[in-house]
Structure 1
């Protein structure tokens, strides 16, 4: 029998009848600003509906709620949130595929502050780092879920004619937020807004210490007026701080860090409450310890013993027109010596 050779092209075609087709590799789908906004909206909506299963989750995702890991269906916020509107604050970093969210939510009639970040790859959620602050104690000092929407409105609506910071300028700011050694400086805007957990920060001061004297020619500080922005050098540091978002459109930078501190008893308009003070902010800590000892010597009761704690923190800053226009400090207070699951070993 004579073996007849097929032409090369015919042989290739014939083999194609018997070889399995190679799967095509789909190109990753990019997620622009509108796409990221929609995923954030869907995230909050799923909490109200108590239904995380229809979110675009990656085949394997990572998630934490108030610093501890859990599947979304096991998280408390997907069980307790009963009402929420369009998110009050969203900063988006399209190149990094990350968004920071901060918004008021309703838990059966009680208002709380939801905040944190999500990461999106190929239009799927791969990471969720979420926090819920329900009181001053969760945050450590100022707190107002009620006033959050009003206080954050200007952040989301900066002046149309502003001079935007470049990404390189925002990166430089980001690297200084928790830096252990930085010479970075920036001018403060005249109306720079200082907010903690939705509330403008008001500190009436220690109840047995007169307010500091105002500089010559300046009016005395009103202890009931919101504090202005404060920026380095007096700030907590973390060599493992993480950059969460660089939002070039809104001029917003978000960075995360772990901040060791102490929860001290604290007087606040006649009530004996408490305050979380970072250990690196030595002057306030020394003053608070001295106040505690004075109260003990006077026989005062109902004082919380100073106790070590850790703040899981995200700082939010806004820059335009070459000045710092806003500073937010969002913290969830946890036990001492806590570490972040999001920091790579």
Structure 2
């Protein structure tokens, strides 16, 4: 891990390293898995050093933190993170020059770990896009969260069997296009087969559905390729297609509501497309009305970066990574 740097502020007079990088070992980072991996390391190291000025930014770049745009020097990420890296999950698209990374991080003097997720696009050796999210607890995501379990769970995804049958790029692109489409089936009109041991996680945690009344099984849920699912006609598909590891990263905007959950101290984000689940929560609330304090159901929008892993002709992992904003929100990446 990078050395922990505390109470260090960047020099405002340090010149930005935008423009061509001085490292000429790889003139086109988009064609090199190692170069993209090194770029992610540079980003994480700069966060720990509280100095975004060391990064090779393009003359014009796009960047967001928790769905809102800002220059890197104005982001919380470069002010608070004191320990980060290496990534627990790294997906690299050498065709598009993009990468997705996820890991637990520490902020300030706290031993509490939070979760950092990010997507970067590189042209030549310059960063042209950087999309970051920090989830600090379950309320940011609206359901499940575990920074402590994240490294072990993501390790499984980063160590697929050596003798696996790797998917084609066309196969992964078809799955990406189907994820938030009206039809959940790929262009081939065949359903996606799901492996028996497919890992289903949300922000580091293997999902356990405690049920409306808290009496469901405590066993982790498996993956389902659903016929009914949230849709987004403006979904950003093929953000990262990692043919080597079988990873797909797709982004969609999901409207829904935050409801009180089985334990009255908890709440959960339920997409509007999941009408049966919302109706079950309303029925549960009506039963308890007036007996306990409960959160009023409130509209929200889930900015989703969903990760799938596919090889051996089957879905091997599904990660639903969400950051919640207010109702009616959209993605600045659509502008």
Please indicate the TM-score interval, normalised by the length of the shorter structure.
0.7 to 0.9
SS in 1 for 2:300: strand
Match of 1:75 in 2: 75
Match of 2:111 in 1: 109
Which of 5, 26, 29 is residue 27 of structure 2 equivalent to? Answer: 29
Match of 1:135 in 2: 137
SS in 1 for 2:86: coil
Quote the Cα distance in structure 1 between the aligned partners of 2:325 and 2:319: 19
Quote the Cα distance in structure 2 between the aligned partners of 1:340 and 1:242: 10
Quote the Cα distance in structure 1 between the aligned partners of 2:27 and 2:123: 8
Match of 1:330 in 2: 321
Match of 2:39 in 1: 39
Match of 2:270 in 1: 277
Moved over 3 A (4+): none
Quote the Cα distance in structure 1 between the aligned partners of 2:96 and 2:291: 52
Assess if the C-alpha contact under 8 Å between 2:173 and 2:241 holds in 1. Answer: yes
Match of 1:196 in 2: 202
SS in 2 for 1:161: coil
Q: CA RMSD in A?
A: 1.5
Assess if the C-alpha contact under 8 Å between 2:184 and 2:229 holds in 1. Answer: no
Assess if the C-alpha contact under 8 Å between 2:91 and 2:101 holds in 1. Answer: yes
Which of 159, 164, 167 is residue 165 of structure 1 equivalent to? Answer: 167
Quote the Cα distance in structure 1 between the aligned partners of 2:249 and 2:223: 16
Quote the Cα distance in structure 2 between the aligned partners of 1:238 and 1:265: 25
Shift of 1:183: 3.4
Quote the Cα distance in structure 1 between the aligned partners of 2:136 and 2:185: 36
Shift of 1:182: 4.1
SS in 2 for 1:119: strand
Quote the Cα distance in structure 2 between the aligned partners of 1:182 and 1:273: 30
Assess if the C-alpha contact under 8 Å between 2:253 and 2:304 holds in 1. Answer: yes
Match of 2:295 in 1: 304
Match of 1:95 in 2: 95
Assess if the C-alpha contact under 8 Å between 2:175 and 2:185 holds in 1. Answer: no
Which runs of 5 or more residues in structure 1 are unaligned? 1-26, 212-222
Residue 236 (structure 1) aligned with residue 230 (structure 2): yes
Quote the Cα distance in structure 2 between the aligned partners of 1:48 and 1:183: 42
Which of 151, 154, 177 is residue 152 of structure 1 equivalent to? Answer: 154
Quote the Cα distance in structure 2 between the aligned partners of 1:99 and 1:172: 19
Which of 216, 223, 226 is residue 220 of structure 2 equivalent to? Answer: 226
Quote the Cα distance in structure 1 between the aligned partners of 2:85 and 2:247: 22
Residue 264 (structure 1) aligned with residue 255 (structure 2): no
Shift of 1:89: 0.7
Deviations 1:163-182 (A, max 9, x none): 00111111111111101134
Quote the Cα distance in structure 2 between the aligned partners of 1:153 and 1:291: 38
Which of 304, 307, 325 is residue 313 of structure 1 equivalent to? Answer: 304
Shift of 1:300: 2.1
SS in 1 for 2:333: coil
Which of 193, 203, 206 is residue 187 of structure 1 equivalent to? Answer: 193
Quote the Cα distance in structure 2 between the aligned partners of 1:135 and 1:230: 25
Deviations 1:145-174 (A, max 9, x none): 111011100111100000001111111111
Shift of 1:294: 1.4
Which of 272, 288, 302 is residue 295 of structure 1 equivalent to? Answer: 288
- TM-score, with normalisation over the residues of structure 1? 0.85
Quote the Cα distance in structure 1 between the aligned partners of 2:60 and 2:84: 27
Quote the Cα distance in structure 2 between the aligned partners of 1:300 and 1:147: 35
